[in-house]
């Protein structure tokens, strides 16, 4: 049976900090533009926190609602006073974030080896398909698998089981590829293999005693190791 490579999307294939330039424009001049990087980081952190909290509460909503609610929170926390028009614009930008520059070629190399490549995300099927399509990556994948199909969020074990059942693949033949340590640990806990894409050398891994099977700096390095 062919090995499955299940790629996380946000932060692994798609650069979630690609919104910084738009934030700089929306935050304006007068000493506020320097908030853009901090705003982007806190928006992303809160987005994940909201998905975790909703998962624990059993109060699932689509991931884009978590994204909008975390945008509203970050605006309040940093007192940036974004208008509704600004927020709508930033949400639209989030739907067309750029891919990391090496992603397309690395995916092509991996697919050429006969491994099955799928996108596996907290985002809804339509949102992820649209995002990957505009980034030029959608055709690289056999399918897009969303947690929305089971109304849970990563790292709930149910979503990794759903991934395997959808593809009819054994845990030992399934690799999760992610830049998010929580996702890597979740996959390993569920019996899958996992590769951590450590895009920043400053990024720490959670000290839980659960390690990735493989750590790489980017998707080119992944293709070198697995290809």
Domains of the chain: 4-14+98-226 (3.40.50.1000), 16-94 (1.10.150.240)
Check residue 9 and give left, alpha or beta (phi > 0: left; psi -120 to 50: alpha). alpha
Give the residue with greater pLDDT, 21 vs 115: 115
Give the pLDDT band (50/70/90) at residue 25: confident
> Average pLDDT over the chain, rounded to whole?
95
Give the pLDDT band (50/70/90) at residue 30: very low
Q: How far apart are CA 144 and CA 7, in angstroms?
A: 10
pLDDT tens, position by position, 141-157: 999 999 999 999 999 99
Tokens of 202: 């400053």
Give the pLDDT band (50/70/90) at residue 31: very low
The verdict on whether 202 is a catalytic residue reads no
Contacts 24+ apart (CB under 8 A), 28-32: 32/80
CB atoms within 10 A of CB 217: 12
Cα distances (Å, whole numbers) of residue 151 to 119, 132, 146, 222:
17, 21, 9, 30
pLDDT for 73: 98
pLDDT for 160: 98
pLDDT for 2: 87
What is the CA angle 177-165-127, rounded to 5? Answer: 55
Over pLDDT 70: what percentage of the chain?
A: 97
Over pLDDT 90: what percentage of the chain?
A: 91
Give the pLDDT band (50/70/90) at residue 34: confident
pLDDT of 32 above 80? no
For residue 206, with 0-12 CB atoms within 10 Å meaning exposed, 13-18 middle and 19 or more buried, which class applies? exposed
pLDDT tens, position by position, 36-89: 989 999 999 999 999 999 999 999 999 999 999 999 999 999 999 999 999 999
For residue 185, with 0-12 CB atoms within 10 Å meaning exposed, 13-18 middle and 19 or more buried, which class applies? buried
pLDDT for 1: 67
- Out of 8, 75, 156, 183, the active site residue is 8
pLDDT for 7: 98
pLDDT tens, position by position, 132-141: 999 999 999 9
pLDDT of 206 above 70? yes
């Amino acid at each position: 049976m062919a090995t499955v490579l299940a790629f996380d999307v946000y932060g692994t294939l798609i650069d979630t900090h690609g919104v910084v330039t738009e934030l700089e424009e929306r935050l304006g001049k007068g000493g506020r533009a320097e908030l853009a990087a901090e705003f982007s980081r806190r928006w992303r952190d809160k987005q994940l926190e909201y998905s975790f909290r909703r998962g624990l509460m059993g109060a699932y909503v689509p991931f884009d609602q978590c994204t909008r609610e975390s945008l509203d929170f970050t605006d309040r926390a940093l007192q940036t006073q974004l208008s509704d028009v600004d927020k709508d614009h930033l949400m639209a930008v989030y739907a067309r974030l750029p891919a990391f520059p090496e992603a397309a070629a690395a995916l092509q190399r991996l697919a050429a080896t006969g491994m099955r490549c799928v996108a596996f995300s907290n985002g809804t099927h339509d949102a992820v398909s649209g995002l990957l399509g505009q980034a030029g990556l959608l055709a690289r994948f056999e399918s897009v698998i969303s947690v929305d199909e089971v109304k849970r969020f990563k790292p709930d074990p149910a979503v990794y089981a759903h991934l395997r059942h959808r593809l009819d693949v054994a845990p030992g033949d399934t690799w999760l590829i992610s830049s998010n340590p929580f996702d890597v640990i979740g996959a390993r806990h569920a019996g899958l293999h996992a590769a951590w894409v450590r895009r920043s050398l400053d990024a720490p891994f959670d000290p839980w005693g659960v390690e990735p099977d493989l750590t790489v700096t980017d998707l080119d390095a992944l293709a070198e190791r697995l290809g």
